[in-house]
Every structure is written in C-alpha cells, then in structure tokens.
Structure 1
C-alpha cells in the first residue's frame, strides 16, 4: 500500500519544531497536499504567505471536534503544537484517525513528546545541578521508556499515543518522537528560535554573566532542528510508501524515538556561552556564576529548571529503522549564531 497523493495534516506550523519540519517536508515533497491548523487569522496569513498552496484551517487544540474531523480526513498527522502536554488534543487526534481509517488504509500519527520526561528522578528528589550516570536507550532499553512513571513530565500524553499504537495498531500507525534541547535557526514562517539554550543566552546577555544552576554538573542531550526535521521527513516518507507498515519497531507501541546528536553539561555550556559572548564583545568579560533556582525562575521562568536537570538518552531506533544520522553543526559550534540572534532580539 502506498498513498499516491497524501494529505498531510500538521499542527504547529507557526512554531519552532513544526515550522521547520513543514519547511523540510514542502521543500522535498511539494506534491503532497498540506492541511495546516493555526490559532488565528493573523498566523494564518503568515503561513499562507510562505505556503500559498496549503489549506489553512483556523482553530486551536481545545477544539476537539475540529481536530477529530481533520485527523479523520488526513493520511498523516504531524502533531507538534504543544503536543507533549495537551491530552485533549491527543485524544481527538487518536479518535479521528481511528474513525477515518481502516486496516487496508491506516492513518499515521507522528507525535512530538519531549525528553523532559526523563527528568523525574531529579525532580522527585528536588535535586538540581548534580551529575547522573543514568542513560536511557530507545532500542535495547525501550521497555523502560514505555513504562516510565505516571507522574513523569509529559507521561499522561505519551500514554495516549502509546495506547493508541497498541490497541489500534491495525488502523492507526503511531511514532512518538522525543526531542531534547533543540538548537539552530528554524525555517518556518514565525518562530525560528529554540527555548532552553536561547533563554540561557538571553539571560547571559542581560546579566552580563552566564547563570549556572547548582553545581552545574547536570547533563542533557541536544539536536539541531534541521536534523530533527530530517527524521520527520523520513517518517512521513515511510508512511506515504506504506513501508513496513506492520513492523512493530517502526510503528506502534514500541516506536519511541529519542533524537540526539550528543549531550552537554549545563555548567560547561554556560561557561562556553560566556566565553563566546565576551569574544563577540556582547559582554564585558567571560564570566559564569551560580544563581539560585528562584532567581533562575525570575529570569527565564520554567526554562531555567532544565539548566539544573539530567535528561540523557541514546537515539538508536531512528538509525536502525530509518537510517537517520544527524549531520548538522554541534551545539557549541552554533553558540555564536545563537548569541548574535539573541542580541538582535534584545535590540528590537
């Protein structure tokens, strides 16, 4: 089975992840039909200017009936808009795909989670900035990822996707993509900026020193946004071609995809940001200092918590089943670009 002219429905077209994934898809497959869900007429205009042939639908994730209808009519749903934390939207997508598809013509759901789910051990102990040896694995250790504690961040939505992949496996083919810290300039029509490292860079420029949470020894994986988009493209192509649609390692209850191209130690990253900022003349001297978690929240809100947490994993699944290999520049190599972009934002 293959889809001759697939209808690709996407949420998050104006977001960082979804906008870049859509760009990569349209560049490689302009022949696909795209339906894009956006929240407002203002955002719809931005999307339509970049993708004039796309069908744009105005609505938000709380509009379950609209999500269900559009999912039923789509061959493939790429869900990136606040995907990891909106249970209602996940339920509506699952219901729509199940209603609109069959064993002969299954629907595909590419869902975006997040590796914040791996931080529960630190938050349970209320420990920030300490090293952890724990490394997850989406191939040999996938069963552990499939059975993370119910209270782990994002887990309630992950469970909806995984349950759909298990109980509706003949009708709905699922893939749960779990990115870590994302960096690199996005290519979408609106948001082209990541969060964790970008906020760290912004705060460094504002304070004239780089903040470190706790001892600065916690570790997190990272991935360039263009490499992440390449994985979405490979998954979409596999769906369109009907490639191994019954392969339990590619689709379904075990299809949990970590994505990473290495990892960073948060304290070392802060010191590197300070070094590059000083070299670029953006701060007076290369300086990184410990700040309290409370001050971190004042400066960067929720994002600052991640600077003190461990989230480590090995992305083996995508390499094994889709021959996906990240090729873009490393996070540290991209730091000057990130700092210059943040400086421009602060000057606006």
Structure 2
C-alpha cells in the first residue's frame, strides 16, 4: 500500500529539497502538503501534479492536527525549529491517529543552532569555541537531551521529545549551516552566507562580529535532502523503524561535512565583492552584535555569525549509512552567492 505522507515547508529551501529527494525516490506514495493558499501551491502542482494539498498557515493547528492524524509519516520543515503550536498540533494528531500496532513517524527539522546556547547565554560574541562546546550525537546524547532551556530551538525540541510513545516515533534532524542551491519548487537559496553578502554589498564592508574566531560546521543542501530520504526510508524498513536509536528520544541526528571560520568567510566575501566589481575596495570590519543588527541587509539569523556551533555526526553513519557526498565547500560557493545576491538587489 502507498505510504501516506504529510509534509510542511515544501516551498522552502530545506523542505523543498527534501521533498524533491523523497518524491523522486518514491513517486507512488500519497503526499499531502501544507501550503498557505492556492497561489503558493501552483509551482508545486506544476512540478508534482499528483500531490494533494491542505491550505493554511502554521497557526491553523486544527488543519495540521487532522493531517498528522491521517498520515503514516509527518515531515515538518516549515519554521519547524521555532514554531511551538504547529509542533504541538503534530504531536496531538499523531497520538490521536495512531496505535502501538500502527505507529506514526515524525521527521522533524531542528538545527545545530541549539549548540550555540553557551555563547548566547554568556555573550561570547566572536570568541573561539571551547572544548566543551563540541557535541557528538551518540557519545553526548545525554548532554544533548538535557541542554539548557535557553538554547535556541530547545522549547520545540522538547515538544517533539515529549511526544515519544509506542504510537508516536519521532526523529530530529539537526543540520549545521547549509549552503548550495536547493532543488525544490520554491526558495532555492540559503540564509546565513547570503545575509553576510548582502550586508557587505549594501555597506561596502564585510562585518565581522568581535574577533571573528567563531566556528560552525557546514553541509551542502543536497546532503541534507539525503538525510530526510534516509530517515523516511527507515520509517518503512522493518529492521529500522522500531529501533529507538533511530526513532525515539535518542533520535537526534547531526550531519556536518566540514568546519568554517567566520573571519575567513568574511575575508572571502570581501575579496569576491571587490573582484566582481561591486566596490573598488572592500574591507573586513569588526563590529559588535548590536552594531551588526543596525546594518543594511541584516536579518535575525545573522546573529549566528558571532556564535559557535560544533557538532559531530555519528548516528546517521552508524544506523543509516549516510555520509556527506558533496565535496564543495562554503568558500567554493561564495562567488555564486555574491553574483546571485547582487542580481537580486539590482546591482
């Protein structure tokens, strides 16, 4: 029988890429997608004519709850890391519509922004990572499950964890900084590095928070799409779907490919903006987090440019055989990002 899949965020960067991967591998499943309205559904329908839609926002919790109750698998990517009402609705719907004999599976998108908590709480802007800020998703699972409640995304992650039962089996994907062009029917661009590029193009300098010694892990969006595909297929695999190390409280999955330093990234952005002729001379300028927030082109996600997020992925490889395959780095992609962002700004 066809698997019934309910998904949010298909018009987004990560969700669109994840859905494209899953749909191409399993086109005969029954897909129901949450979109805001018929206009937003049009490009999705054009690319995937057999899918069904339910209409509403993330605050339409009754719609989400009912769709979750009817689905075999729920994939939540639309503002999923920080929107508590939709997560609660999914938890309630899955519990209502499933039994221990026929459980519902939930693949939830969070992020390794959770690991920035120490810098956020202690105001460590631009400072290098401390040894204790590195988290392995198997070896340090108890630390991850008990992160400080002030950690970003933590309130929603706790909703997902609390839903674990014999009837509801969640897994949480926590990708690091993501780069590359997506393959979905809507937004195909990431956020962090393009935000840095936009601030540089608008201000004439590349802002660097504090000393710029912070580090994040990164991964290509195609590899993130494969993460979702691997977990979706695990939910239908008799040898994997009942494994609590995959679906359950321990089901936290990190997936880094490499490590970036924001000072090097800022220098590379400045170099490329100048090289492509958008300014005669572009420097790297240290700023405080407060000063960064006043720059043209700033959006809140840019706060992460001044914090550390250090993840070590063990779980995907051990249980699902996933490893990142794309060899490009964030630095390799900066020329394309500058070109694309400048075009979007009409420069």
Counterpart secondary structure, 2:106:
strand
Residue 285 of structure 1 and its aligned partner are, at CA, apart by: 3.3
Unaligned runs of 5+ in 2: none
Contact 1:175–1:251 at 8 Å: present in 2 too? Answer: yes
Q: Measure, in 1, the Cα distance between the counterparts of 2:2 and 2:194.
A: 38
Unaligned runs of 5+ in 1: none
Counterpart secondary structure, 2:294:
helix
Contact 1:72–1:96 at 8 Å: present in 2 too? Answer: yes
Contact 1:48–1:56 at 8 Å: present in 2 too? Answer: no
1:184 aligns with 2:183: no
State which of 234, 237, 240 in structure 1 corresponds to 2:236: 240
State which of 12, 15, 19 in structure 2 corresponds to 1:18: 15
1:135 aligns with 2:134: yes
- Matches of residues 328-343 of structure 1 in structure 2 within 5 Å? 328=326, 329-343=328-342
Contact 2:255–2:324 at 8 Å: present in 1 too? Answer: no
- Matches of residues 21-32 of structure 1 in structure 2 within 5 Å? 21-32=18-29
**Alignment match, 2:217:** 221
Contact 1:18–1:81 at 8 Å: present in 2 too? Answer: yes
1:275 aligns with 2:303: no
Contact 1:208–1:284 at 8 Å: present in 2 too? Answer: no
- Per the normalisation by structure 1, the TM-score is 0.95
Contact 2:125–2:288 at 8 Å: present in 1 too? Answer: no
Is the alpha carbon distance of 1:251 and 1:286 closer, same or farther for their aligned partners in structure 2, counting shifts above 3 Å?
same
Q: Measure, in 1, the Cα distance between the counterparts of 2:106 and 2:231.
A: 10
Q: Measure, in 2, the Cα distance between the counterparts of 1:250 and 1:195.
A: 29
What do residues 230-287 of structure 1 show as CA deviations (whole Å, max 9, x unaligned)?
0100111111233422212111010001121111111111111222333333332352
**Alignment match, 2:49:** 52
1:265 aligns with 2:241: no
**Alignment match, 2:246:** 250
Contact 1:293–1:304 at 8 Å: present in 2 too? Answer: no
1:193 aligns with 2:192: no
Residue 190 of structure 1 and its aligned partner are, at CA, apart by: 1.5
**Alignment match, 1:175:** 171
Is the alpha carbon distance of 1:231 and 1:333 closer, same or farther for their aligned partners in structure 2, counting shifts above 3 Å?
same
**Alignment match, 1:324:** 322
**Alignment match, 2:69:** 72
**Alignment match, 1:345:** 344
Contact 1:209–1:283 at 8 Å: present in 2 too? Answer: no
Q: Measure, in 1, the Cα distance between the counterparts of 2:119 and 2:341.
A: 29
Contact 2:194–2:337 at 8 Å: present in 1 too? Answer: yes
1:100 aligns with 2:97: yes
**Alignment match, 2:36:** 39
State which of 77, 80, 85 in structure 2 corresponds to 1:83: 80
Contact 2:77–2:109 at 8 Å: present in 1 too? Answer: yes
Residue 81 of structure 1 and its aligned partner are, at CA, apart by: 0.4
**Alignment match, 1:310:** 308
Q: Measure, in 2, the Cα distance between the counterparts of 1:347 and 1:307.
A: 25
**Alignment match, 1:291:** 287
- Per the normalisation by structure 2, the TM-score is 0.95
Q: Measure, in 1, the Cα distance between the counterparts of 2:232 and 2:67.
A: 17
Q: Measure, in 2, the Cα distance between the counterparts of 1:298 and 1:15.
A: 27
Counterpart secondary structure, 2:152:
coil
Contact 1:175–1:250 at 8 Å: present in 2 too? Answer: yes
What do residues 175-228 of structure 1 show as CA deviations (whole Å, max 9, x unaligned)?
001122111111112211111111011112222321101000011111111100
Counterpart secondary structure, 1:132:
coil
Residue 40 of structure 1 and its aligned partner are, at CA, apart by: 2.1
Contact 1:216–1:266 at 8 Å: present in 2 too? Answer: yes
1:301 aligns with 2:299: yes
